[in-house]
Amino acid sequence: MKKKLLFWVKCYLFWVAFAWVSRAAFACYQWEETLGLGGVDVARIFWKGARVDLSFGAYVMMLTSLVLAVGVVFFSPRATRAALNGLTALLLFAAGGVVAGDLEVFRNWGYHVDATLLLYLKTPGVIVASSTAPRVAGLLAIWLALAGGGYWLYRSLVALPRSSPEEKRSPRWHALPFLLLVGALVLPARGGLNVAPMNASFVYFHPSSMYANQAALNPAWNFLYEVLHVGELKDNYHFMPPGEANELVDSLYREDGEYPRVLATSRPNVVVLLLETFTSNAWDVMPNVQAVAREGILFSNIYATGNRSDRGLTGLISGFPSYPPASLLKYPARMHACPRFPLEMEREGYNTAFYYAGDLNFAGFRSYITMTFQRSVTEDDFSGEAVRNAFKWGVHDEYMLERLHEDLCRAPAPFLRVAFTMSSHEPFEVPGEPIIVGDTRELKLMNAIAYADRCLGDFFRRCKESGAWDNALFVLVADHGTRHVGNLAPHAPSAYKIPVIFTGGAMTRRDTVVTTLGSQTDVAATLLAQLDMDYSRYRYSKNLLNPRALPFAYYAYSSVAALVDARGACILDLKRREGIGDNKDPRSRATLEAYLQVLEEEFKEEFKGKSLTVRSESGE
């Protein structure tokens, strides 16, 4: 038994060491980019990548533990040893091939080998078309060294010792520890006890170098992760010739002429508050939000692009609509090609920061935020009462907003701060006495929104007292709506209605309501237009203050997509390809189909080594 447990420990360490050697090979192969990093960043590549290495090793050890458990019960020691050796050889062959191939894929494409590889299996020549014969030979040698050399080291240092023919089987209860280890390995495999399971963004650490973040990834783990999600990347939507689809979509965003300027200065401080589940259907329990809306502009006819926070985040910051089968945040290389308005503002002299008082690894946030903002504030930056009163998702809004206000008072101008509230997230448990009493899901959510609204009221009061309000533009927008206020159908348009507000001391307009039909994705263009910044890269974002902007909105989740226009909501059941909304007009249906088709092509552009498309006409 002791021999088997010692083997188990050595085997886990062996696979972690294999991952480190693979990363070292990657850094050497991409030597030009590695030399562009400082010594500290190179060290952090290995340190930050250790977590995903432990996850990779845990998955391998689950298989190894199962073989040990089954071998104890059913097979002789010699047969068990042979099975373990065979499993290791097979895994080394596969992992070594992925690692070696990844070296050249990254050199050519700029991101790790992923499920894209499966798309080229019918035409394997494409995979090596950009490589010379000597380079391919070198990669084969690296594959052989990783697989063959790794197996030699395994046999020499790790493998169970040879057993004599007379050695008896272990007692069957010896299988129990290995079965328990299978369960225990779930913890390192998923990355710990975090709400969010392991994903590529866990290793992201560098605010500007995509290479450093990619180098920290374990290519074998990354390939497995991508393959498990490959169903999301198949062709789902093809309704018409590509040229016709692009023309229809581009026609939705053509703008020209003048639009009103509503700021006293083109370089105000900007604070964007992304409000968790602040549905328009709960407007009556937001007295403080209503109050600041009267001090600026309320956009009263806006729809969220999706029904989850990850879609809302990219919809707001990148102006990228919800792609039904998959989240943009799951694919950092594709995300990196998208525009993000904090980067535009940084280039114009703004210092930027993101506030999320929870686990930044949630839903792949870390990769997106790290590559978008100069710094971030998370649950790790809080202590004392804030931590003692924390809930499942992190620190409550009153503490996060208090920290945000303190930072606003000492931040050098001009600055951009984006803060994501979270107390109104399920399970809707908030501090203090209930404002709205009840045990139903709807009433608990309404109470949580009312609590968050009270926190916002305190925040704005402090900002006015301290002067942080005076030269600032505050943008309030919900991350998504909900069907749980009013017991709505999941696809109902009112489940996606959200408030968008521009307010603050920098505003020249007061007590104004704009009824233009629009989307959460339109906030980026509207904001940049007021700051006199180009927004032509935001293909799916229009200036809501331009009177010539076409009024419409798009929203979607995994099985439904909808286009809301002057004719009503055209809602498409994506599974049956049938219309389920009141708007049956074929023009709306054709526009929605074109939108889905173009959006899918945009989402998958990175497979072809391209950047996401700039729309044909400028937004100004």
Query: What φ, ψ does residue 292 adopt, rounded to 5°?
Result: -75, -25
Is the pLDDT assigned to residue 209 strictly greater than 70? yes
**Which 8-state DSSP code applies to residue 157?**
I
Mean pLDDT computed over every residue of the chain: 88
- Residue pLDDT, tens place only, 332-365: 777 778 899 999 999 999 999 999 999 887 777 8
Written as one string, the DSSP assignment of 310-335 is HHHHHHHHS-PPPPTT--GGG-HHHH
Domains in the chain, ordered, with CATH? Answer: 2-228 (no CATH), 259-549 (3.40.720.10)
Going 593 to 599 to 603 to 609, the CA torsion angle's sign is positive
pTM: 0.77
**Cβ neighbour number for residue 183 with a 10 Å cutoff:** 10
Going 531 to 533 to 539 to 545, the CA torsion angle's sign is positive
Cα dist from 268 to 100, 201, 294, 297, whole Å: 50, 32, 19, 16
Strands 375-377 and 351-356, by their bridges, are: parallel
Helix (H) or strand (E) run with residue 419 in it:
strand 415-420
- Write down the pLDDT at residue 235: 64
- Write down the pLDDT at residue 75: 79
- Residue pLDDT, tens place only, 64-102: 999 988 887 777 888 888 999 999 999 999 999 999 988
Predicted confidence band at 58 (pLDDT cuts at 50, 70, 90)?
very high
Is the pLDDT assigned to residue 605 strictly greater than 90? no
CA atoms within 13 A on the CB side of 230: 12
| Chain mean position to CA 251 | 29
**Cβ neighbour number for residue 141 with a 10 Å cutoff:** 11
- Write down the pLDDT at residue 230: 60
The residue with greater pLDDT, 446 or 178, is 446
**Cβ neighbour number for residue 402 with a 10 Å cutoff:** 15
Is the pLDDT assigned to residue 131 strictly greater than 70? no
What is the C-alpha to C-alpha distance for residues 233 and 330, in angstroms, rounded to an integer?
A: 12
Query: What φ, ψ does residue 295 adopt, rounded to 5°?
Result: -95, 10
Predicted confidence band at 315 (pLDDT cuts at 50, 70, 90)?
very high
Predicted confidence band at 229 (pLDDT cuts at 50, 70, 90)?
low
What is the C-alpha to C-alpha distance for residues 582 and 569, in angstroms, rounded to an integer?
A: 6
- Write down the pLDDT at residue 114: 64
- Residue pLDDT, tens place only, 588-598: 999 999 999 99
Is the pLDDT assigned to residue 547 strictly greater than 70? yes
Predicted confidence band at 243 (pLDDT cuts at 50, 70, 90)?
very high
Helix (H) or strand (E) run with residue 138 in it:
helix 133-144
Lowest-pLDDT range of 156-160, 174-178, 237-241, 541-545: 174-178
Percent of the chain with pLDDT over 90: 60
Strands 560-565 and 568-573, by their bridges, are: antiparallel
